[in-house]
Amino acid sequence: MTTLTDPPQESFRLSMLLNDTRYRSYTFQFLALIALFAAFGYLGANLVQNLRAAGLNISFEFLSEPAGYDINQRLIEYDSQRSHWRASVVGILNTLLVAFLACVTATVLGVIAGVLRLSNNWLVRKLMSVYVEAFRNVPVLIWIIIIFTIMTAVLPSPRAFRGDDPAARMLFDMFAFTNRGVYVPAPSFSSGIFGTAADWLIILASLVASFFIARWNVHRADQIQEATGQRPVTVWANLAIWFGPLIVLCWMMGLTWEYPELGGFNFSGGWTIRGSLIALWFALAIYTGAFIAENVRAGIQAISKGQTAAAASLGLRPGRIMNLVILPQALRVIIPPLISQYLNITKNSSLAIAVGYMDITGTLGGITLNQTGRAIECVLLLMLFYLTISLSISAVMNIYNNAVKLKER
């Protein structure tokens, strides 16, 4: 009889750090760590030496100093006496504004183009692939500049709207397209309840409430359908839920529209949308729309034909097949790349600096950097901002991915 015993425990020898795979990884990691520290130390030492030579230091005090420059497109109050920090906040809001507008528009364009690329109409199919290929293969910077050129060099100047027989006219007497920007009517409340900002919040709150009530309404219809087989009509009730409170609120607070009017050398009144914002918005939307179209097409094509056939054999109409069977499955494929396209839009919105739109890159990374000479601090803050946005969007994406993951076994 032999008894199996464990092999004798080897004592640790120094050569095992190189020859034994169990310990070799420690050696490698130790070396990598040393190399990393050495690299950072070298760069840091250079930085300190260079800063001392230039008589500079690292400090963020410049953020509280007066900025001294104007920003013509802004969402919050700002003038040139406000601090650099305030200018950066204006820039952040401008970045978020253009990113939001471009995301919405790009999604609409992309979904339409993606669905039309699968149309059984040959001409439409070909037109859509021309759109996708033309916009995907040309740098977005060139599109931004082209649209910016249309906005500034092709549109008439405000002077053209003057006189008895003007060369240019306002659209419906409400919209003026000029080379200084697009002027649109601005809503305001003549008998507001709490003040401008609070009034808008009330409108927003009523919209959110409408959303939940409408969802409850649809849910109720679903339950009735499951119980009785008959689906009550929800359209009219939903329309009332969405628009009823809105109309009542607007009437109560006295909604009036302020129209842009030609006065002096320029239009006044209403809201001004600068050409740079429009250029950035549309260029990003059309460019990213082409990518989204490809994602949508791939998502729909990823659903096997059997799903359509099975749904059809259950007697569903084509519209319901799309809504109830194909889209819910296709969305699982479409949404992750869609969100990374949103991320791309946010990052590409930094190209604003090429057309002078004052987003965060234009304020903090542009004029503030040039005026204060605080390159390291400005670029660091700029990167932190974009990193925060990117990481939070990918966190949201991970949550979503886990929620819609196919639950298998």
**Can residue 59 be called a binding residue for other proteins (CB under 8 A)?**
no
Q: Do 332 and 383 meet the contact criterion of CB atoms below 8 Å apart?
A: no
Tell which one of 266, 329, 372, 390 touches other proteins (CB under 8 A). Answer: 390
- Please state the closest distance from residue 79 (CB atom) to other proteins, in A: 27
Q: Which of 367, 392, 389, 365 is nearest to 379 (CA)?
A: 365
Tell which one of 12, 13, 36, 263 touches other proteins (CB under 8 A). Answer: 36
Give strand pairing partners of 176. Answer: 183
What is the longest distance spanned by two Cα atoms in the chain?
118
Tell which one of 70, 79, 133, 173 touches other proteins (CB under 8 A). Answer: 133
**Can residue 57 be called a binding residue for other proteins (CB under 8 A)?**
no
Q: Contact region for other proteins (CB under 8 A) — 142-150, 169-177, 222-230, 399-407? A: 142-150
Q: What CA–CA distance (Å, rounded) separates 45 from 80?
A: 37
Residues 332-371 that bind other proteins (CB under 8 A): 347-348, 350-351, 353-354, 361, 365, 369
- Please state the closest distance from residue 149 (CB atom) to other proteins, in A: 5
- Please state the closest distance from residue 138 (CB atom) to other proteins, in A: 5
**Can residue 127 be called a binding residue for other proteins (CB under 8 A)?**
yes
Nearer to other proteins, 61 or 133 (CB): 133
- Please state the closest distance from residue 182 (CB atom) to other proteins, in A: 20
**Can residue 292 be called a binding residue for other proteins (CB under 8 A)?**
no
Tell which one of 153, 235, 403, 406 touches other proteins (CB under 8 A). Answer: 153
Tell which one of 1, 4, 14, 53 touches other proteins (CB under 8 A). Answer: 53
Tell which one of 3, 137, 190, 228 touches other proteins (CB under 8 A). Answer: 137
- Please state the closest distance from residue 108 (CB atom) to other proteins, in A: 17
Using CB under 8 A, list all residues that contact other proteins.
21, 25, 28-29, 32-33, 36, 43, 46-47, 49-51, 53, 116, 119-124, 127, 133-134, 136-142, 145-146, 149, 153, 347-348, 350-351, 353-354, 361, 365, 369, 375-376, 379, 382-383, 386-387, 390-391
